[in-house]
Amino acid sequence: MTDPSIFNARDPRCKTPYGAVPSGTRVALTLRPRRADGWSRAVLRARFEFRGEEIAEVPMPWTGLDGDRDLFSCALDTGDYVGLVWYSFRLERLDGKALELPERQLTVYDGAHSVPAWFGEGVTYQILPDRFRRTCVPDPAGMVGGRSVHTGWFEEPVWRPDARGEVRNRDFFGGSLAGVEEKLDYLQSLGVETLYFCPIFEAAENHRYGTADYERVDPMLGSNEDFQDLCAAARARGIRVMLDGVFNHQGFVSRYFNGDGFYPELGAHQSKASPYYPWYHFNRWPDQYDAWWGIYSLPAVNESQEDYVDYIIEGEDSIVRRWLRAGADGWRLDVADELPDAFIEKLHRAAREAKPEAVIIGEVWEDGSNKIAYGVRRRHLLGGHLDGLMNYPFRNALLAWLLGGDAGQFRESMETIRENYPPAAFYSAMNSLGTHDTPRILTLLGVGGDCGGESKQWRAEHRLSPEERALGVRRLKLAALVQYAFPGSPTTYYGDEAGMEGFEDPFNRRTYPWGEEDAELIAWYRALGKARRELAPLRRGALCYTAAEGDVLAFTRTWEEDTVLCACNAGRERARVTLPWSAAEIGGLLCFPTDPDTGEAVVELPPLTGYLLRKSPGRE
C-alpha cells in the first residue's frame, strides 16, 4: 500500500493551488517520501485527456529536506489547455526499485467564463406547479391530454394502471401560477431567493416533462402574461425564477410530434412533410422511433438538427431567449448528460446574451467533473457549459451519515467534489435533500430507507408512525441545518418544510398540505432561511472541517473576519465538539448550547441535535 504521506493533493505542502485550476496555471507539486526509504529520483507523468491522450513527463529534482522527509518538486504548466489532466508519480532508487503512485485528477477549466453568484448564495425552493397551490378547481375541457381534475385538494394522485395497463399521469389537481403568486409572502418568509419550477409549458401529463408547446404556459397554470406578472411580483420581493428546460425529449402529444392528432398542424407522426419530422429519428415511421429510456410517450429529439437548435437556442426569438426576456433568470436542464456538449454550450451562450446574469444548472446525478455519458467525457464544468449541477452526491452522502454512517465518509465525498469542481461550480451547486425524482426526505429519514421490498400498495398507504415521524423530524432538522450551512444553494422541495411524506412518484408529488403544516418544521426552516439570507459566511464563506468522525460532523464557514460554525450529532448518545474559539467568543443563532461566560471550549451535543454558532464580531 502506498504511503499516503508521500503525496496528499489537499495538503498545500504537496500541491498548490488547491483543487481545480484555471487554464494557464502553473501547479506546484511536491513529493514527500521518508528519507530512510532512499528514493533518489522522481518523475511526474501527466496525461492530457482532451488532447488525444498527450502525455508529458516532467523531472522532479530533489529540492531539500523537511525533517525526515526528502522533497522532490516540479511545476506542471497547464498552458492553454482546458480539460482533465490525469497525473501520477514515479519514485526510483539507485538499486532499481521503483514506486508508482496512483493516478489523480486535475480539472483545468476556462477561467474566462464567470458564474453569477446569486444562485449559489441564496435559498432555492422547488415547485411542482400542479401540486403547490390552486385558487379554484379548473375546467379541463378543451385542454390537451384528455385530463381529469381532482375536486378534493387532499385526494390521492392516481397510481394504479388503467385498463390498458398504463399510468398516464393525466389526473391534475389544478395548481396555478396565481396560486404561487398568492403564496409569495410565505416563500419570502422562508428566506427563498430562487423559485425553481418543474416544467410550466403546455403538456398532456401532470408533471409536464413531455412538453407539448414550448411557447405557451399550460393553460391550467395560467397564461404567458400570468408568468410575467409572477416574475415581476417575485422580483419585487428579491426572488428570482428558474425554469425547467426539457430539451432532450418532448411529448407524444405535442405540436411537434402530434401522436394523437390533437393539434391542427401536421406533426412528425402524421406526415414526413411536417417541418418537425427531421427533429426525430424513426426506425420505422410512424410508430417506431427513438424515445427517452424507451418510453413511447416521450419521443427523443435530435439535438443536433439545425432547425431544432434554431428554435430552442439560436433564433432571435428562441425558446431559451424569449422566456428569459419574459422574466426568468435561469434554466435547469433536464437530463443534461443526454444533451450534446455543443448544444449546452450554445444554450449557455444564448442565455447570457439574453440576460448576462442568467444561470444554467444541469441535472447530473454523479460527480459531474469526470462524467462519461454515451462514451463521451462531458465538459459540463469546464466553462461556458453548465454553471452548476444538481448535487446528488451531497444528498447521498448526507443521508448515509444520518442513517448510521460515518461523518468522515461525508467529508471525504464532499472534499472529492470540492477538489474536482471549479470553485464557482462548487459554490453554485443545487443542494437538494429531495426532488420530484426521489422519495420524500422525511419518509426516508423516518423509516430508514425507500422500502423498495414492500408492495406498491403498501408504499401508497404507508404513513409514518408517531415514533417514525418524531425520529424523521429530528433527523430532517439536522439534515436541513447542514444543507443551509454548506456551500451551494440549499434547495427545498415544496412541502418538505411542512412535513410532507411519501415514497416514490407519485407519492412524493402529493399536494402541499395547506392548513395542516408541521409548525415546528416550518419554524426551523424559517430560522435557517433567515440565517442564510443575513450571514455572509453562509452565503459565500470558505469551508473548513473541525470534526468529521462517527456521528459528529462540524465545519466552519468564514468570510473576511466573520465565522459561523455548524456542529451536528446524528447519534443516539451525547457527543462533544471542541470549538475553534472559546465559548466567550460565541454568538448563538439558533440556540445557546453553553454559557458564554464560562470560557468552556467544548460544546456538548445531545443526541440528534445540531447547533449553528457564530463567532462574536470583533473578538479574536
Kindly list the catalytic residues: 334, 363
Nearest to residue 87, comparing CAs of 1, 14, 3? Answer: 14
Q: Using CA atoms, how far apart are residues 496 and 601, in angstroms rounded to an integer? A: 35
**172 by DSSP, 3-state: which?**
strand
Cβ burial 359-378 (10 Å sphere, 16+ → b, else e): bbbbbbbebbbbbebeeeeb
**525 by DSSP, 3-state: which?**
helix
| Residue 48 identity | F
C-alpha cell belonging to residue 308: 431544432
Torsion of CA 361, 365, 370, 376, to 10 degrees: -90
Nearest to residue 426, comparing CAs of 112, 117, 195? Answer: 117
CA distances from 348 to 356, 358, 429, 499 (A): 10, 9, 16, 36
Q: Using CA atoms, how far apart are residues 470 and 289, in angstroms rounded to an integer? A: 49
Which neighbouring-strand residues pair with 566?
Answer: 555, 612
C-alpha cell belonging to residue 1: 500500500
CA distances from 179 to 61, 176, 236 (A): 67, 5, 17
Cα Rg of the chain (Å, integer): 26
Q: Using CA atoms, how far apart are residues 614 and 87, in angstroms rounded to an integer? A: 40
**82 by DSSP, 3-state: which?**
coil
Sequence-distant (6+) residues with CB within 8 A of 228 are 326, 327
Q: What is the torsional sign of CA 359, 556, 484, 531?
A: negative
| Cβ-based burial of 541 (10 A; exposed 0-12, middle 13-18, buried ≥19) | buried
Nearest to residue 532, comparing CAs of 236, 231, 117, 120? Answer: 120
**555 by DSSP, 3-state: which?**
strand
**540 by DSSP, 3-state: which?**
helix
CA distances from 607 to 156, 169, 405, 471 (A): 36, 42, 15, 11
Q: Using CA atoms, how far apart are residues 466 and 148, in angstroms rounded to an integer? A: 34
Q: Using CA atoms, how far apart are residues 213 and 384, in angstroms rounded to an integer? A: 28
Nearest to residue 102, comparing CAs of 89, 83, 119? Answer: 89
How many residues are recorded in the chain?
620
Sequence-distant (6+) residues with CB within 8 A of 38 are 93, 94
